[in-house]
Amino acid sequence: MFSKQKPMWGEKTQLKSSYDAVIIGGGLHGLATAYYLAKEHGITDVAIIEKNYIGFGGAGRNTAIVRANQRTQYNVPLYNEALKLWPILTKELDYNLMFNNCGNLNLMHSEAAMKAARMTIATAQFHGVESHLIDAKEAKELVPALNISEDITFPIHGAMFHPPGGIVRHDAVVWGLARGANKYGVEIHQQTEATGIKTQNGKVTAVETSRGTINTKQVLISAGGYSAALIYGMLGIKLPISVLTIQAMVTQPLKPLLNHVVSSGAYHCYANQTLKGEVATGAHMDQWPNYTTQNTAHYIKHQAEALSEFLPCLRGVKFMRIWGGLADMTPDMAPIMDGNDHVEGFYMDCGWGYFGFKSCSAVGKYMAQFMAEKECPEILKPFNYRRYEKHQLMGETAALVNYTPDN
Amino acid sequence: MALTITCPICGKRNGYEFRYGGEDKGPRPEEAGLTPEAWCDYVHMNKCVAGVQKEWWFHKDGCGSWFTIHRDTTTNLEVKGPEADK
Ligand SMILES: Cc1cc2nc3c(=O)[nH]c(=O)nc-3n(C[C@H](O)[C@H](O)[C@H](O)COP(=O)(O)OP(=O)(O)OC[C@H]3O[C@@H](n4cnc5c(N)ncnc54)[C@H](O)[C@@H]3O)c2cc1C
Ligand SMILES: [Zn+2]
């Protein structure tokens, strides 16, 4: 990974003492923002500062689900644009992102959930996003392996079917964006930890790193689950975030049986079959904040129980690998994107919880616009930091209950 | 990862018996002169410390007590708080 060889994205360069913009975190959002800063705005004197290696964070740990059927009118257009960017980026980056638009089937297990789904579907349709309500029989036709009997813990009443969503190869997005950004001159510095942000008269002047001070007037913190601690530690700004470990696992490879992403809020479980045949499945988050990224027997058991109820053909199948990452959750299940508020030249892009993969393409584009024009683009305005003190929390929680650490 | 919590009444128990109650933020702010910013700070804002923090827990499947402990968020291990050395 850190060998003397040339990295996959391009040439290794010396860390300079100043850049037009510094990005803290070589994850999906940092890479995408740098790519668009260089490509769309001609701001190419950019350094990405990465403590470990690119893709170390959620970027390399997520379950790669993409979709645009969120609950609120602020979120849907952003995610819809992100969804539409996958085929475009595949061409632009000349990198196979393996977008498999197999569609998402979100199971509903009560009449109340069906009602909530109707609202969510109406929002999607209003914004021109394909999404339908289907009954249990139709769900069974889509996924014959589904157990629609009434004899399970949470019988299936129906589902929200969102055909344009699916899966994108997450590592390819990291590699493609890194190479794409580097082509325009963006520098990527791995094994470099940001340790502080220097300010003077309310303006950013420099970023302190484990390899020296970098002078800059603009800095973005997009360090995934580590952002909230960094922002508080460096600038004393507290965020409405709780950081929780979230786990995922894959089974042994099987013959094709699942051709849609299937998810269930009641079972706290979602699954899709990868192109290799493994069933990749994600679980609930830990119930208390922690940065361990460790796995628990609790969730292996939970996952096995849930899957063997609604996909009974998976009984007896073995899990091959399990891993954990961080989810930085906000009280309204929506991210925080802001800049030039507390300190001029300081931008933040965090609170992406377990949904920051599907958004990274569009967010990179708009955060780059924000940093280039120093004006918040309309589409990002609702995600501002001050919405919490104004009691303007977003209602993204409707489809998922019991997901906050406070329940 | 396994977590144990020490309840002041029941002693050391399995973490899943408890509900996390948030970072310790001191007493609830006075109503008089309360600004939306100060209220928001108390209700929503966190320090998200990667290290030792003082935090609230509720023994939901036990005696029903609310209490605080110190825990290292990078290891999930309960640690002695600064008060313990006094
Ligand atoms: C198990 C799991 C499943 C998920 N599933 C999905 C899914 O199906 N769909 C979806 O949309 N999202 C999913 N997510 C969420 C998604 O992965 C994240 O929201 C996303 O990766 C956030 O991107 P980011 O670029 O902000 O941060 P990350 O990708 O986490 O990158 C942050 C980077 O910052 C670096 N860093 C940290 N501190 C410093 C420092 N001091 N100096 C320099 N660098 C630093 C880290 O090393 C890391 O590389 C999942 C997450 C997990 C953990
Ligand atoms: Zn007790």
pLDDT, tens digit, 9 for 90 and up, residues A47-92: 999 999 999 999 999 999 999 999 999 999 999 999 999 999 999 9
CA–CA distance, A299 with B6 (Å, rounded to integer): 23
Q: Tell me the one-letter amino acid at A36.
A: Y
Whether ligand 1 lies within 6 angstroms of the CB of A61 is answered as yes
Question: Are A90 and A97 in contact, with CB atoms under 8 Å apart?
Answer: yes
Domain A104-163+242-329 in CATH 2.30.30.30? The answer is no
Q: Which ligand lies nearest the alpha carbon of A83?
A: 1
pLDDT tens sequence across A125-149? 999 999 999 999 999 999 999 999 9
Closest CA to A108 of A135, A130, A70, A138: A135
CB contact under 8 A, A238 and B46: yes
Whether ligand 1 lies within 6 angstroms of the CB of A358 is answered as yes
Question: Are A364 and A401 in contact, with CB atoms under 8 Å apart?
Answer: no
pLDDT tens sequence across B10-34? 999 999 999 999 999 999 999 999 9
Please indicate whether the domains covering A21-61+171-240+332-390 and A104-163+242-329 agree at the CATH topology level. Answer: no
CA A109 to chain centre: 26
Is residue A200 pLDDT above 60, yes or no?
yes
Q: How confident is the model at residue A18 (pLDDT cuts 50, 70, 90)?
A: very high
Strands (E), A145-268: 158-162, 166-167, 187-189, 194-200, 203-209, 212-215, 219-221, 242-251, 261-264
pLDDT tens sequence across A82-125? 999 999 999 999 999 999 999 999 999 999 999 999 999 999 99
Chain B positions touching A242 (Cβ under 8 A) are 46, 48
The helix (run of H) or strand (run of E) holding residue A325 is strand A319-329
Q: pLDDT at position A401, please?
A: 39
Helices (H), chain B: 36-43
End-to-end Cα separation, chain A, in angstroms: 41
Q: pLDDT at position B84, please?
A: 57
Q: How confident is the model at residue A395 (pLDDT cuts 50, 70, 90)?
A: confident
* Structure-token match 């999404």, residue found: A131
Question: Are A31 and A174 in contact, with CB atoms under 8 Å apart?
Answer: yes
Q: Which ligand lies nearest the alpha carbon of A51?
A: 1
Which strands, in side-by-side order, build the sheet including A242-251?
A: A132-135, A158-162, A104-108, A261-264, A269-273, A279-285, A242-251, A319-329
Whether ligand 1 lies within 6 angstroms of the CB of A224 is answered as yes
Whether ligand 1 lies within 6 angstroms of the CB of A25 is answered as yes
Ligand 2 (ion): residues with CB under 5 Å are: B 7, 9-10, 59, 62-63, 65
pLDDT tens sequence across A214-246? 999 999 999 999 999 999 999 999 999 999 999
- Specify the DSSP class assigned to residue A60: G
Ligand 1 atom closest to residue A359's alpha carbon, by position in its atom list:
11
B29 touches chain A (CB under 8 A): no
Domain limits of chain B? 4-79
CB contact under 8 A, A390 and B36: yes
Mean pLDDT, rounded, of chain A: 95
**CB-neighbour burial class of residue A4 (10 A; exposed 0-12, middle 13-18, buried 19+):** exposed
Whether ligand 1 lies within 6 angstroms of the CB of A188 is answered as no
pLDDT tens sequence across A246-287? 999 999 999 999 999 999 989 999 999 999 999 999 988 998
Q: pLDDT at position A403, please?
A: 42
Domain limits of chain A? 21-61+171-240+332-390, 104-163+242-329
Q: pLDDT at position A6, please?
A: 87
CB atoms within 10 A of CB A235: 17
Q: pLDDT at position A199, please?
A: 98
Question: Are A299 and A269 in contact, with CB atoms under 8 Å apart?
Answer: no
Fold observed for domain B4-79: Folate-binding fold (3.30.2270)
Segment B54-81 shows an average pLDDT of 95
Is residue A315 pLDDT above 90, yes or no?
yes
Q: pLDDT at position A406, please?
A: 41
Closest CA to A74 of A392, A320, A341, A400: A392
Nearest CA, atom 31, ligand 1: A27
CB nearest B22 (choices: A239, A298, A406): A406
Q: Which ligand lies nearest the alpha carbon of A23?
A: 1
Domain spanning A21-61+171-240+332-390, CATH class: alpha beta
Chain A positions touching B21 (Cβ under 8 A) are 406
Is residue A400 pLDDT above 60, yes or no?
no
Q: pLDDT at position B83, please?
A: 66
Retrieve residue A167's tokens: 């899966």
CA–CA distance, A79 with A63 (Å, rounded to integer): 17
Q: How confident is the model at residue A379 (pLDDT cuts 50, 70, 90)?
A: very high
CB nearest A331 (choices: B19, B44, B50): B44
* Structure-token match 């091959």, residue found: A320
CA distance B40 to chain A (A): 5
**CB-neighbour burial class of residue A21 (10 A; exposed 0-12, middle 13-18, buried 19+):** buried
Q: Which of A179-188, A328-337, A398-407, B8-17 has the lowest mean pLDDT?
A: A398-407
Q: How confident is the model at residue A354 (pLDDT cuts 50, 70, 90)?
A: very high
CA–CA distance, A381 with A394 (Å, rounded to integer): 12
CA–CA distance, A254 with A135 (Å, rounded to integer): 27
CB contact under 8 A, B47 and A291: no
